[in-house]
Structure 1
Amino acid sequence: MAFKTAGAERDEWSYSPTVGVGPLRFGMTVDEVVEAAEILGRTRVSECARDHAIFSPTSKVEVHRRGMAPSPPAVTAYVSQVLGLFCIAADAVHGPQVAYDGVPLVGRDLSELESDVVAYAEARDVQFRYTPEGYAGPDDPGVVIRGQRVGQVLRSRPLFMVTRDGANTEWDSMPSEECRVDGQSVA
């Protein structure tokens, strides 16, 4: 199934808390991620900088859409040597659309996403949460909404994750490559 946004067509992937996103399952090895990602396109594997000695070495698998001109990865998967796949980031422009109980999370104007998340929470009498940067998202420890600069605006770049080895929370688990302020990398 495909989701259209701004004239482009993108795949729709499902999210299952603590299980995975689309064809990617938490705990997969690098080779398993590369094999599963073949449905989207070509992959590039590299090692992440080891910023914190508490974490085991981590690989980054960048998945680029098949048939597109060179562009940022549609999906970036982070794989720990100890835990396996623990974080999946969907690019705001090229990534697959992933919804949380019917609320699309990828590539959204952050104020529109906030309105939808608040309406969702009010309609179902559930909570939602804000990131330290002020981005609204579902009250699910496995979903962290980040901002990604697209032209002059910030769009949503969700991270889907489980707590990695040596970490206490998803915030502790976040790969340094995904730590951004106002859409700009601080790593």
Structure 2
Amino acid sequence: MYGRRWRPAAERVRWVVDPLVGVGPLRFGMTRDEVREAIGEPGPVGAVDEMRAPWWQFHDDTGATVLYDLDFRLVGIAVDAVSGPRVWIGEVELVGLVPSQVGADVRRLAERTGVAVRTNPVGDPDVPAWGLSMGAAPSWEPGPYGHPRRGDAQLSEPLLVAPELADDPYAAEPVRHWRDLADRPANPGAWPVAAELDRPRWNWTPGRSIGLLRYGMSPEQVARGLGGAEPTLRRGRPNLTQRSYRMWPHQTEPRPPAPWRLEEEHFADLGVTAEYRHRAPGQPVLGAVTIAARTGPQLHFAGIPLVGRPITEVEADLTGHADERDLGLVYDGPDEFGPQDAHLYVLPARAGDRTISGVRLFAPDWEHRR
């Protein structure tokens, strides 16, 4: 949740969208100083690099992320689902509600006013005429002692952009700099979840193996362990640079002097992603495996199923197991958690209006990163 704090609806200010012009007190084209004057100082979270514009910052007191272009002019505003203002376009409220209901309301309003609606890469409505692209985020609510507590719902949150970004917001550099979706397949607006009976059950040994996969395997060995499956996406980067490469199987690797470092292989049909590290140049070996919440195989820990369940149920089961043994759960940020010394994290994932559990398992000496 970085610096976010849950706010009840009664404590949130009301902002009204002026399509392609701004929202609330913010207007596209504002300078950084003008944004600060309108909504206060930003928090510590963001990409702030004077040498690498564009950049973004989260204003935790307001609950909004602001995005800037190469001239550090405001071109995007993302309102946080759990802490941001209540935002309205016409009679439709956009923030902190059930995503499917908000999406239906947006589509009805667009139809009534004669503007086109598309589906954006995250599976929600996108209205270029308004500079509006909807999304969702996991819910949080106040818990004991004032600390936030996760929920099982997803909540709606809008991205509003300037006219020059409206045609394809997630392809625009300021938005990509904030939330890069280049390595994710576009969601058509559906979130099918495999039934428990349709998921294969994989055995695993913490810190050593998952199914037929063993840490330290080469990509060729991983493919054999997955029954000869072909990756649907390969992701990596050239050595000695900071620029990320994303590669599809039919593409060729870059030519020297930029040897390519394979980092991930995604097997969409299996719901599995293999992540690699390099012990020597050109020698990737398996270091972590992510099991997709909606489609991946089932894993158990101490009899507790970990994949495809409401996220709060998994957390409660693991917390009970840990308390019985006077252990604890390990948290990597607010979103990921796992049993102590099990070398796994449970990950939240969207399934329409719900949040369900995926799993990331890793070698003991793997530097956890996402």
Please give the alpha-carbon distance, in whole angstroms, between the structure 2 residues aligned to 1:8 and 1:51: 43
Shift of 1:80: 2.4
Matched, 1:122 2:311: no
Q: What residue is the counterpart of 1:60 in the other structure? A: 264
Q: What residue is the counterpart of 1:47 in the other structure? A: 235
Q: Which amino acid aligns with 1:76?
A: T
Q: What residue is the counterpart of 2:350 in the other structure? A: 149
CA contact (8 A) 1:127 1:139 kept: yes
Larger-Rg structure: 2
Shift of 1:126: 2.3
Aligned residues: 157
Alignment of 1:96-135 (within 5 A): 96-135=297-336
Q: What residue is the counterpart of 2:220 in the other structure? A: 31
- Structure 1 residues 149, 141: CA separation in 2 closer, same or farther (over 3 Å shift)? same
Higher relative contact order (CA 8 A, sep 6+): 1
- Structure 2's unaligned 5+ residue stretches are 1-193, 243-259
Please give the alpha-carbon distance, in whole angstroms, between the structure 2 residues aligned to 1:53 and 1:119: 45
Please give the alpha-carbon distance, in whole angstroms, between the structure 2 residues aligned to 1:80 and 1:173: 11
Please give the alpha-carbon distance, in whole angstroms, between the structure 1 residues aligned to 2:310 and 2:275: 25
Shift of 1:78: 1.1
Residue of structure 1 aligned with 2:205, choices 10, 13, 16: 16
Identity %: 24
Please give the alpha-carbon distance, in whole angstroms, between the structure 2 residues aligned to 1:52 and 1:116: 44
Shift of 1:84: 0.7
- Structure 1's unaligned 5+ residue stretches are 66-72, 165-169, 180-187
Shift of 1:124: 2.6
- Structure 1 residues 74, 51: CA separation in 2 closer, same or farther (over 3 Å shift)? farther
Q: Output the TM-score relative to the length of structure 2.
A: 0.38
Q: What residue is the counterpart of 2:133 in the other structure? A: none
Please give the alpha-carbon distance, in whole angstroms, between the structure 2 residues aligned to 1:136 and 1:157: 11
The DSSP-based 3-state class of the residue aligned with 1:144 is strand
Higher strand residue share:
1
CA contact (8 A) 1:117 1:136 kept: no
Q: Which amino acid aligns with 1:64?
A: A
Q: Output the TM-score relative to the length of structure 1.
A: 0.71
- Structure 1 residues 24, 121: CA separation in 2 closer, same or farther (over 3 Å shift)? same
Between 1:44-53 and 1:80-89, the stretch displaced more is 44-53
- For residues 25-80 of structure 1, the C-alpha deviation after alignment (integer angstroms, 9 at most, x for no partner) is 000000000111117x54335232469969x9234222233xxxxxxx51000122
Q: What residue is the counterpart of 1:79 in the other structure? A: 276
Between 1:42-51 and 1:126-135, the stretch displaced more is 42-51
* CA RMSD between the two structures: 2.9
